[in-house]
Structure 1
Amino acid sequence: MVDAIVLINAEPNSINEAAQSIVEIEGVKDVYSVAGDIDLVAVISTKAFDDLTTVIPGGIAKVDGVLSTQTLMAFKTYSDKDINAAYELGLD
């Protein structure tokens, strides 16, 4: 799996509608409305690297109300579940 985080700026009056449209795109796991310089954060997970082209510039960037995107590629995923499992196995 290939994971990415997409930071999204949207038109102020279109944030909710844009978020709803983005979450319906195949490959988008979650969309968060956030405070700060960015309006939305989308978590993407695809089977292949090339699929990101379909999801991000071919999908998210074309949603009405989206002004700009910035993509962060995930190298490795850490989660509480993984960390707890490692401790149970005695790994440090």
Structure 2
Amino acid sequence: MLTLGVIGWIVIGGLAGWLASKLMKTDAQMGILLNIVVGIVGGLIGGFLLRGFGVDVSGGGLLFSLLTCLIGAVILLGILKLITRKTARTP
């Protein structure tokens, strides 16, 4: 993922963030900038987790990078949903 460059990070991150927000049903709350941020952070999370399982994430290609970002973005949004749900219930 690090070899994609800034434009690649933005495009793949935005697409992965948007897909993850659709899957997690948070799309109405997110704009394009937040989708990009979630996708990029998701790429870092996904890459870290896949490396932990012994998967070689370098040189995986665009589709592999998109899937890595998507996995991480879904995990990130799931964690954020749990946190916001807990703080919404706390008086």
Q: TM-score, normalised by structure 1?
A: 0.28
Q: Indicate the structure (1 or 2) with the bigger Cα radius of gyration.
A: 1
Higher strand share: 1
Question: Larger RCO: Structure 1 or Structure 2 (Cα < 8 Å, ≥ 6 residues apart)?
Answer: 1
* Structure 2 length-normalised TM: 0.28
